[in-house]
Amino acid sequence: MRVLVVNAGSSSLNLRLHGPDDEVEQSADTEPGADLEGVLHGWALPDAVGHRVVHGGTRFTDPTVIDRAVRKELEELTALAPLHQPKSLAGLDAVTALLPDVPAVACFDTAFHTTIPEAAATYAVPKEWRERYAIRRYGFHGLSHGWCSASVAELTGARRIVTAHLGAGASLAAVLDGRSVDTTMGFTPLEGLIMATRSGSVDPGLVLWLTEHEHLGPHEVAETLEKHSGLAALAGTPDMREVLAGAARGEPDAVLGLEAYVHRLAAGIASMATATGGLEALAFTGGVGEHAAEVRARTAERLAFLGVAVDHTRNDTVDGEITAPGAAVRTLVVPAREDLEIARGTRVALR
């Protein structure tokens, strides 16, 4: 089955045409609203289209064939992911208009985390809120965490795995026997680790204080926490490469940004290891996870008490296993391949 994988981001539309053996036959990155007919001209006609959809709520826990009723339900979930769901739906509608007779499947970033136990998924807020507003820890980056953890399990045989998806957005997942049992992102993708422009977790009392005492509006606070915080606020740049270069020069803001990033990251990994009942393998993926060797090395140093240690030569030069000789925990770098996870899910749904 030939599958066209559609990944609609905030500022780009990523297209990958996978052949029957999952080889990438064609690929393109376009801007939203681009002439898709022109982009896809000359490409083979796919047998199916697989779409990355950020939010599936509690209703969608597996890849799902899209029909009118499903499309309507996905739109109704927009309130849970107002910054992301419209982009997913716009990509879906654009490709469907061009390929109306090709079956389409939605693959969800939240689905992998629907196995999280209630104790980990439940916020300590009134039951009425939880039920009326569907408040719970949903988790995100599930397609990446699912692919990464399955790859690590296949390579190492590990049962207790922590995956670190580190990119512009960043999150961790605790994976036990192939199932997510905890994650750092929560009701929204704002919770958890320090990210490029997102704050990660902050005291909710801080938000209340800003609105009450400084009279900042909800939109202003949300905009700042989403787009003007994280590394951008600490180090003056959202780009980890620039942060690392600045820290190497001894620039105070860059040093603080890097140290805060690694502090939160290492603490989060240790917390995830608690959820899995131990740590057998640690995997880094995503743009920062795959390319920032210093972040991996600094994080491993903080986690030495858990048995994590990396071989510095391998850490600087390879994808794959970077474990130091004799280390109790196997550490790996796994290229992010959400496209393969979407293609796999699409085939499963259409069987």
Q: What is the pLDDT of residues 251-310, one digit of tens each?
A: 999 999 999 999 999 999 999 999 999 999 999 999 999 999 999 999 999 999 999 999
User: What pLDDT was estimated at residue 81?
Assistant: 85
Residue 195 has pLDDT above 70, yes or no: yes
Residue 12 has pLDDT above 90, yes or no: no
User: What pLDDT was estimated at residue 317?
Assistant: 87
Residue 119 has pLDDT above 80, yes or no: yes
CA 66 to each of CA 22, 47, 239: distance values in angstroms, whole numbers, following the listed order? 22, 14, 36
The proportion of the chain whose per-residue pLDDT surpasses 90, expressed as a percent, equals 93
* Active-site residue identified among 109, 182, 311, 339: 109
User: What pLDDT was estimated at residue 29?
Assistant: 92
Class of residue 126 by CB neighbours under 10 A (exposed 0-12, middle 13-18, buried 19+): exposed
Whether 109 is catalytic:
yes
Decide: helix, strand or coil at residue 183.
strand
Q: Looking at residues 172-192, what average pLDDT do you find?
A: 97
Report the mean per-residue pLDDT for the chain.
96
Dihedrals phi, psi of 112, to nearest 5 degrees? -60, -30
User: What pLDDT was estimated at residue 10?
Assistant: 65
In a 13 Å sphere around the CA of 148, the CA atoms on its Cβ side amount to 35
Class of residue 87 by CB neighbours under 10 A (exposed 0-12, middle 13-18, buried 19+): buried
* 244-264 confidence digits (pLDDT tens): 999 999 999 999 999 999 999
CA pair distance 342, 143, nearest whole angstrom: 7
Which domains does the chain show, CATH number per domain? Answer: 3-108 (3.30.420.40), 158-333 (3.30.420.40)
Decide: helix, strand or coil at residue 149.
helix
CA pair distance 254, 36, nearest whole angstrom: 41
Q: Looking at residues 165-170, what average pLDDT do you find?
A: 96
